[in-house]
Chain A
């Protein structure tokens, strides 16, 4: 489950960082522009997700994901559509502007819903690497961006942008293509300035979703410490008109 959260972190970066303090710098603006595409609303996507652990064990999931905004409230619903034994498992993350968010997980086998408060400490644990905290303003809103220069990445000339919460030692580095202002790579560093994880976004394709001309088909995430790798392939994206009630989880008898 962590993996799903990890992947959607990228999609929601814009959603979150737009609320954050970019200090109005060039770097901040470039970064914000690059993630604008990734912050989806009123969209349903169909995804293939493959995770590989450090031993080479592979796990495949097919997911349906819905991003929605209802005024100030933001919601993301992920539903596992395959394999059979976990089909129907749903995760709903709700972000409120004035209070802490909620993450709910529905288990179809028991009909039970598990609820978590999206506090900082919970979010550190619940989906450790990047994950669920990206559904919440709690973390990324505080990031500040700084231009480091330019670098060639995968034969593409990119801006190299440093992202850090003031007062913290962990930081991130984003690689944004100069020409198309697309986010291509995000690196995560720990207190010792050691690279602990990275996300690569590639195969941007055109969409017919308003305000989201391009979207990455492939997202590759590697957790260097644990050796785990996640590969996400976006199969389909479609625009939806939704009401708040459409994204609710209800317990069923069990």
Chain B
């Protein structure tokens, strides 16, 4: 450090600036990928089956446009509007199919034996009797019921979205078309593409307004604590640089910004801030002690005193983050790498850049801002903590034990729900659309039961027909489209109602194949290709889910599995509606394995560094308690575990272990200097303890701003980050010292001189 300060300051700073410029130049190349399906490896489970289904049958995702009227939607004005919308949407790039009530064909035989293919609705009759007749026709039509609600107040236009088109491209185009075709009906959009796009817009909107507010609050808190701008700017500089460098690396590696990597700046703010704050805190201690004469001397001194604890905290945090490499979800593993990289750089910059930059400042006389005899509030609180620890350590440990037990019971109530529909609550437009789609139109999320082989054989068709009947009875199921329903509709154009073939499935494979030839000729090849492939080697039953919750998805999946379990031609059961279940399973599995790995790494590192297994146990314990508390609280509070909230524990690993190590390290020094545990506890509290509080409160204040978000997940996220940091803080300042007082670990004892 002396050499850097004396000789290499300029070179060092130039190096930092150069890396900054390189990183900044790479950042514009980053792209965002919010698609959950892409988080799942392509050759795994539901995703692999979805890719197969897409290659055979085309796009699996639906977008639904619903027109809702205060009264009956069966009026000419509304229907003209539907036609205009359909005309404008049909043929749009990214929309493979468009279907509305206009496309529902009523197939029947007329009196002379000719097949008529008249639209189910061809204009709205003006007289009430004909209108009543039309309503009855619609009620009786299986296809018609997909497009009109049972109360006749709403009608749907169902679009099949191509996989190649991005949500952010197609949704605004559709919204524009809706705006260009105004009318008295309320228009809702539904479907996962719309919901995902809404999630992104909400997050963007809140980030633009709330994030600057969060940063400002953080800055104000730091100033409030340190009462000088270098206490704000230097730690913040390290945080900003480490964020920029990490995103630069993301770009160089060709990785995309995902819903998961949004956690990266948050982890870095919480962790990288910590190193700088401890350095500034110690710097202020040195100033107030008045023993060193120049800023250079202070810079070298704080470097020497803190390089080991900061190195240890950095290593253990990086070790903890690298636990994420065990995740099956690529974005989570990438987060582990990027966070480790960012923390590594933050460590280097904190230890070297901050002292170097401090030398540019003039040495102040003193930084004591309170009157003599009047300690600041923070000192009073820390002294109180020290008193509790010194005189009631058992009570503290017992309390934490009780809280842990309670938290464990809360964990059993924890629900996993990766359904983004649940992000919207109350009277939001998105929520309204979701409710209308789910309640009146059977849902927008589909599951495919895929069969292959000789799918047109009488056995296969008969089994699929039976399955369709059974699937209808499952509670979470909305609409079903199957080969059976398709053939039965076609039979109405061949047989009169009194003939045995009417509303029956074909009896032979040849008959089924010929039916499909005729269907193609009759203009039904598109509809047919949704459920039977052109080579007649694959068929599927399409089932819509009435709501998008993981619970419904899981129950329906189980039901479908039970119904089709012994079918020799069953290939798979898959769908966009099930991706989130797969993601949920990956999230839980990944989180358990990464946490376990993180704990093992942290335990090993602490044991090696302090040369005692006890250090590994005692150092990890507060972190474990804090994590149990977080998940227990989520269980009691009904906050579901999803992709983002599950990874919050990664933030806690970074922060929790930092606080613990800083406390233990300082305690060891104070204990070696004074020889009395209680004094050492008190000194550690009001020195390092202050730095821990500064870090915790500045981060907590920043994320508390998210509580004002209009978007439920961000609100929950703000609350959970607040709770995570608070629990780590309390564990570090109460539990850790209480354990130390009770157990007097040998690894913290001062080294005895030889011969004594």
Contact = CB atoms under 8 A, between A and B. Distances in A.
A122 B514 contact: no
B114 A116 contact: yes
A108 interface: yes
Contact of A55 (B58, B115, B509, B513): B58
Nearest to A107: B514
A154 interface: no
Q: For the complex, would chain A's binding face be called helix, strand, loop or mixed by DSSP majority? A: mixed
Nearest to A226: B526
Contacts of A125: 105, 117, 522-523
Interface string A50-84: 01011101110000000000000000000010001
A176 B456 CA distance: 44
B521 A127 contact: yes
Nearest to B535: A57
Contacts of A116: 114-115, 117, 522
Interface in A1-35: 1-3, 5
Contacts of B522: 1, 116, 125-126
Given A55-B58, A225-B91, A2 B514 contact: no
A91 B521 contact: yes
Given A2-B521, A55-B58, A125-B522, A110 B533 contact: no
B514 A109 contact: yes
Interface string B81-119: 000000000010000000000000100000001110100
A115 interface: yes
Contacts of A86: 510, 513-514, 517
A125 B106 CA distance: 13
B509 A85 contact: yes
A58 B533 CA distance: 10
B399 interface: no
Interface residues of A, number: 35
A114 interface: yes
Contacts of A109: 506, 508, 510-511, 513-514
Q: For the complex, would chain B's binding face be called helix, strand, loop or mixed by DSSP majority? A: mixed
Interface in A191-242: 225-226
Contacts of B517: 1, 80, 86, 89
B56 interface: yes
B518 interface: yes
B710 interface: no
Contacts of B456: 85
B501 interface: yes
A112 interface: yes
B529 interface: yes
B494 A53 contact: no
Contacts of A55: 55-56, 58
A225 B514 CA distance: 26
Given A85-B509, A85-B510, A122-B117, A5 B515 contact: no
Interface string A147-189: 0000000000000000000000000000000000000000000
A59 B56 CA distance: 14
A108 B517 CA distance: 12
Given A115-B113, A115-B114, A57 B501 contact: no
A57 B117 contact: no
A120 interface: no
B458 to A, nearest CB: 11
Nearest to A60: B535
A92 to B, nearest CB: 12
Contact of B521 (A54, A58, A84, A105): A105
Interface string B655-695: 00000000000000000000000000000000000000000
Contacts of B493: 114
Contacts of A117: 114
Nearest to B96: A54
Contacts of B518: 1, 89, 105, 107, 114
B745 interface: no
A243 to B, nearest CB: 25
15 contacts: A1-B521, A57-B535, A59-B534, A59-B535, A85-B509, A107-B514, A110-B506, A112-B495, A112-B501, A114-B493, A116-B115, A116-B117, A116-B522, A126-B523, A127-B521
Q: List the 6 closest A-B pairs by CB distance, nearest first.
A: A1-B521, A109-B511, A85-B513, A109-B510, A125-B523, A107-B514
Given A1-B518, A85-B456, 20 more contacts: A1-B522, A2-B523, A53-B534, A84-B510, A85-B513, A89-B518, A105-B521, A108-B514, A109-B510, A109-B513, A110-B506, A114-B493, A114-B518, A116-B115, A116-B117, A125-B117, A125-B523, A126-B523, A127-B521, A132-B521
